[in-house]
Amino acid sequence: MTTRNHCLERDAQDPLASLRDQFDLPAGIIYLDGNSLGARPKSALTRAQQVIAQEWGKDLIRSWNAAGWFELPKRLGKLLAPLIGAADGEVVVTDTTSVNLFKALAAALDMQAADAGRRVIVTERSNFPTDIYMAQGLTTWLDRGYTLRLIDSPEELPAAIGADTAVVMLTHVNYRTGYQYDMQAASALAHEHGALILWDLAHSAGAVPVDLHAGGADLAVGCTYKYLNGGPGAPAFIWVPKKHQPHFHQPLSGWWGHAAPFAMAPDFQPAEGIARALCGTQPIVSLALVECGLDVHHQTSMAAIRAKSLALTDLFIELVEARCAAHPLGLVTPRAHANRGSHVSFTHPHGYAVMAALIARGVIGDYREPAIMRFGFTPLYTSYADVWDAVEILRDILDRKDYNIDAKRDAVT
Ligand SMILES: Cc1ncc(COP(=O)(O)O)c(C=O)c1O
C-alpha cells in the first residue's frame, strides 16, 4: 500500500519537481484545477509590468512595431507548434476557442461545399457545449441544410460517419470524463469516408502529447489558459496545416487576416499562410502573457509531462479507491492509459457539496454536471505528496460527512 513517505520519495526523484518553483502557488492550497485555469507562472507578473509600464506606457503606439505586438499571434504560434506536432507557420494564438472553432468549422464546410451530398457534421452529445453551440449557430445561420449528428459514445463514431459527412468535429480529451480519443484512428475513419476532421485540443495542449500531422488532423483549435498557463481568458489558438491553407476561407475576414492590412483597400484579400486565420486587433496584454507559460514548457518535454501525468492520475485513482472505498464514488475516467487525459473525474451523489467542502479546505478542483468532481493534474506543478494530501482531505470530508448539501451554488462551478 502506498504511503505518504512513498509519495515524498517520488517527489525527491521527480525530474520535473524543480519547475514548480516557476509558479506562484499560494501556501496552503493544493491546486487540482489546472485543467480549467492554469496556475500563474511567476514571470507573468514581470511580463505584465513590462507590457503595461514600458511597452504601452512609455513606447505607446510604437510598440506595434518595436515590441513586436503585431507579429505576436504568429510568434506565439511558432512557440506552441512543437507541443502539438505542428510545423512553423501553421498556428496562430488569437481570439477564443469558440471563435476559432467557428472559423475552422466554417472553412471546413466551405472546403466540402461542392459536394451537395455532404451536409452532416458529426460530433458528440457530450462534447463541450460551446463546440456544439457554435456549430448550431453556424449551420442555422448558413441555412443550407446542414445537420448535426450527435453520437452518445466514442464507440458510435464508425457508424456515424458516412458519405453524407462533411466534417467530424471532436474534442481530443473530453472535458468531463477525461476520455482521450485515438486521434490517428478517428482521423483515418473520417478520411475513409471523404470527411474532414476538426479537433478541439482544449484539454490536450500541454497536457498530453499531440502530433497533429501524424494524427491525420485537418484543422485544430485549442485553449491556452488551461495546461498552457496563459492566464484567465488568454487568447486561444488555431492550426491550419500548410496543405489546407490555400483553400482555407473563413468568414470572419477582418483586417488582420488581410494580405496587406495597412494598404486599407476596400476589398478583402486573404493573407498568404496562417495569417488568414486572424480577424482583428488582439488583447495584447493578455496575449503577451501566453509566452510565460510556453517558456516553462520549453524547459521539459511532452514525453516527460505525460509520464508524470499518468503516474499522478494512477496514484490518485489508486488512493481514492483504497482510502475512500466506503463511499459512493464512481470513477468516470478511463483506466486505460491510452484513453486518459490529465484529469480524473469521480461521481458522488453530492458531488457539488463535496467539492465545495474540498475547496473550503484548500483542495481546489471543480464540479461539472451531473454529479462529477473533476481533479486536474498539471505535472509542471503538482507533486505526489499533493495527491496524497488531497485524498486524505477527501477521505476525512466523506468519513465525517462534512459537507453541506444545501450549499448555494456559485455561478461558476
Ligand atoms: C473542449 C473545450 N472547448 C472550448 C472551451 C471554452 O472555449 P472558450 O475559451 O471560447 O470559452 C472549453 C472550456 O473549458 C473546452 O473544454
**Confidence label for 411 from pLDDT (cuts 50, 70 and 90):** confident
Q: Which residue has the cell 492509459?
A: 337
pLDDT tens digit sequence for 278-337? 999 999 999 999 999 999 999 999 999 999 999 999 999 999 999 999 999 999 999 999
Mutate-to-test residue for ligand 1 from 223, 225, 290, 345, highest number of ligand atoms within 8 A of CB: 223
135-161 burial, b at 16+ Cβ within 10 Å, e below that, comes to beebbeeeeeebeebbbeebeebeebb
Residue 408 has pLDDT above 90, yes or no: no
CA 9 to centroid of ligand 1, rounded, Å: 36
Q: Which of 366, 378, 358, 371 is nearest to 410 (CA)?
A: 366
Q: Which of 240, 393, 400 is nearest to 320 (CA)?
A: 393
Q: Which of 340, 376, 47, 108 is nearest to 238 (CA)?
A: 108
Alpha-carbon distance of 12 to 17, in angstroms, equals 8
Alpha-carbon distance of 74 to 91, in angstroms, equals 7
Alpha-carbon distance of 398 to 172, in angstroms, equals 32
Contact 312, 377 (CB under 8 A): yes
Q: Which residue has the cell 471543480?
A: 366
Residue 91 class from Cβ within 10 Å (0-12 exposed, 13-18 middle, 19+ buried)? buried
pTM (two decimals): 0.98
> From the alpha carbon of 171, which atom of ligand 1 is closest?
1
Neighbours of 215 (CB within 10 A): 21
Residue 350 has pLDDT above 90, yes or no: yes
Alpha-carbon distance of 48 to 309, in angstroms, equals 29
Residue 164 has pLDDT above 90, yes or no: yes
3-state helix, strand, coil in the chain (%, to 5): 45, 15, 40
Predicted pLDDT at 101: 98
Q: What cell numbers appear for 412 in the block?
A: 461558476
Contact 244, 222 (CB under 8 A): no
Nearest residue (CA) to ligand 1, atom 14: 36
pLDDT tens digit sequence for 26-63? 999 999 999 999 999 999 999 999 999 999 999 999 99
pLDDT tens digit sequence for 393-404? 999 999 999 999
Residue 5 has pLDDT above 90, yes or no: yes
Residue 208 has pLDDT above 90, yes or no: yes
pLDDT tens digit sequence for 334-347? 999 999 999 999 99
CA 97 to centroid of ligand 1, rounded, Å: 6
> From the alpha carbon of 96, which atom of ligand 1 is closest?
10
Nearby residues of 117 by Cβ (< 8 Å), 6 or more positions away? 163, 164
Catalytic annotation, residues: 128, 200, 225-226, 374
Phi, psi of 274 (to 5 degrees): -70, -20
Residue 1 has pLDDT above 90, yes or no: no
Residue 412 has pLDDT above 90, yes or no: no
Mutate-to-test residue for ligand 1 from 93, 94, 97, highest number of ligand atoms within 8 A of CB: 97
CA 93 to centroid of ligand 1, rounded, Å: 15
Nearby residues of 140 by Cβ (< 8 Å), 6 or more positions away? none
Average pLDDT over residues 350-377: 96
Residue 410 has pLDDT above 90, yes or no: no
Residue 407 has pLDDT above 90, yes or no: no
Predicted pLDDT at 87: 98
**Confidence label for 275 from pLDDT (cuts 50, 70 and 90):** very high
